[in-house]
Structure 1
Amino acid sequence: MSGSTVLLPDLCTLRDLRTFVSRARVADPEGVVRLIGHGAVLAVLASPLHGSGAPTVLGMRAATLTRPSRVDATVPMAAMEALLVDPCSDHEGPIGLAVPADEITDVAWAGITPPRSGWELLGTVSRETLLRVARAGEAEVAAAVSPGTAPHEVQRLRARVWGRSLTDDPPGLPAGIAFAAHVLGFVTDPDTDADGPEATAHRTGAWSRLTTTRGHILARTGSLI
């Protein structure tokens, strides 16, 4: 079954998407990305955290397309990285990205689509808070896991650590949002990047969202798997 082709505006956009996919693959080496093309925008989603009681947390990076396209495909990250290779070094102008046909149907998180509208602004979350929670959680998981730890125990630990509340104000955001923002590079250290993006928190229904200039982190309470 054939796929379709979307037209990225330039090499910078292609490299930006490749960086996003590469970072997401660190958190989920055997994972997938979902590509949703609607009009002149391509949304690329990955899930650094999901399953076994953990909140379902998605990272989303959007790219403007040169021409409108309609695409909805779920692709293995390894295959996506291979597609996002640079063309010849002197290339200028738009770049065609061949999107394989969607043949993956057994990834639960890829079957849900976050809301586009209805978001209520809750407030802001400082970069210091996001990094502190992310690093503390990563250290807690690393300290408790050894080569002999059973996979279900690791999943249970991750669910407990990343299912905690991120902050009291605004309330209701899972700590997994901080983990995803950190691993995907959506939040930077104020000590080395004084002008880095701040984050705003939003909610609609069962969904929470953290937004920076680098992308969106979306979380849905409760596991889908």
Structure 2
Amino acid sequence: MISTARFALADSREAADLGAFLSRLLRFDRAAAVRLQLVVDEASGAGVLAVYGRLPLGSAGVLALRTSRLEAGTAMPAGGADLTVSAGQLLEGVDEAQGALAVPPPVTGPAWAGLLPPRGGWQSLGAVGAELVVPQVMAAVAEFKERTAQVPEHHRTREVLDRIADEIWSRPLSALPALPLRAAHAAYRIGFLHPGAPLTAHRAGGWLRLTAPHGTVALRATAAPGAGLGLTPLS
């Protein structure tokens, strides 16, 4: 267990990036929980803290993963650690000045945190630059705003808005047709689609993922409305 533990991150930038990630998650849900997994990077032997959150986009959800490097020499608990905590409390524990993180006590995890796709077996679906993805995302955002604005206010229920969102975001991503547009939209909303960023797509069984230098999003290949999602560290 790592509850109430304090970890030194590799540098202040890691703390700032983690804080920004948590802040974006909390814009979707002020009561959001995140799943933490403390792992060892096999290539370098360094400790890595993986933080997973869920973005409720439409009636389906997308997972977002952000990893933070720990300071060299940080002691790792035997067997690693895995727990779910409040995103808000974790954000309060981010100390940018000291480049450190205080981990709050665990909470009862939401359903998505318990459903895990495979760690291995990911097959490449292609690679593109973010500049080939962002225009389609922005056009879809504009379409969603236009279509929802046309819905009479007394009919503008969550069910109606989710139906429009699901129709738009389930379309294939033009630059990576094996992925739904929902994956790129999630990456954009969580701040992973930086200008010029290289993007890679992979599939493992019923899971899809889109990876950028600043993080990864993952979702079910065929997400049923309201389906819970979960993720373990991706190799």
Q: TM-score, normalised by structure 1?
A: 0.80
Q: Does 1:21 align with 2:22?
A: yes
1:17-57 C-alpha deviation (Å, 9 max, x unpaired): 001112233344443322111232211112223573x3x32
Cα distance in structure 2, aligned partners of 1:19 and 1:78? 12
State the distance in 2 between where 1:117 and 1:75 align.
26
Offset, 1:166: 1.3
Asked if the contact 2:198/2:212 (under 8 Å) is kept, the reply is yes
Distance of 1:123 and 1:163 partners within structure 2? 19
What is the root-mean-square deviation of aligned Cα atoms in Å?
2.5
Cross-structure match for 2:70: 65
In the TM superposition, what is the alpha-carbon distance from 1:209 to its structure 2 partner?
A: 1.4
Q: What SS does the corresponding residue of 1:24 show, helix, strand or coil?
A: helix
1:86 aligns with 2:86: no
- Percent identity between matched residues is 33
**Residue 187 of structure 2 contacts residue 193 of structure 2 at CA under 8 Å; is this kept in 1?**
yes
How many residues were matched structurally?
209
Q: Is the 8 A contact 1:49 1:180 kept in 2?
A: no
- For structure 1, which segment, 17-26 or 72-81, has the greater mean C-alpha deviation from structure 2 after superposition? 72-81
Q: How does 1:19-168 map to 2 (within 5 A)?
A: 19-39=20-40, 40-49=47-56, 52=59, 54=60, 56-66=61-71, 67=74, 68-69=76-77, 70-87=80-97, 91=98, 95=100, 97-105=101-109, 107-145=110-148, 148=154, 149-167=156-174
Aligned positions of 1:134-213 closer than 5 A:
134-145=137-148, 148=154, 149-167=156-174, 170-189=176-195, 196-213=196-213
SS of 1:124 mapped into structure 2:
strand
CA distance in 2, matches of 1:16, 1:207: 26
1:173 is paired with a residue of what secondary structure? strand
Kindly provide the CA deviation profile for residues 160-188 of structure 1, in whole angstroms up to 9, marking residues without a partner as x: 22222113x64331111111111122112
For 2:44, the equivalent position in structure 1 comes to none
Question: Cα gap change, 1:218/1:159 in structure 2, threshold over 3 Å: closer, same or farther?
Answer: same
Unaligned runs of 5+ in 1: 190-195
Q: Give secondary structure in 1 for the equivalent of 2:177.
A: coil
Tell me if structure 1 keeps the 8 A contact 2:207–2:218: yes
2: CA distance between counterparts of 1:128 and 1:182?
12
TM-score, normalising length: structure 2? 0.77
Instruction: Work out the CA distance in 2 between the residues paired with 1:197 and 1:150.
Output: 36
Contact (CA 8 Å) 2:125, 2:178: kept in 1 or not?
no
Q: Give 1:101's aligned amino acid.
A: P
Contact 1:6 1:65 in 2 (8 A): no
Q: 1:98 to 1:85 in 2, by over 3 A?
A: closer
CA positional deviation for 1:100: 2.5
> Does the C-alpha gap of structure 1 residues 71 and 101 become closer, same or farther in structure 2, counting only changes over 3 Å?
farther
Give the secondary structure class of the aligned counterpart of 2:70: strand
TM superposition shift of 1:3? 1.9
What do the CA deviations read for 1:80-101 (whole angstroms, capped 9, x no partner)?
22222435xxx4xx62x23233
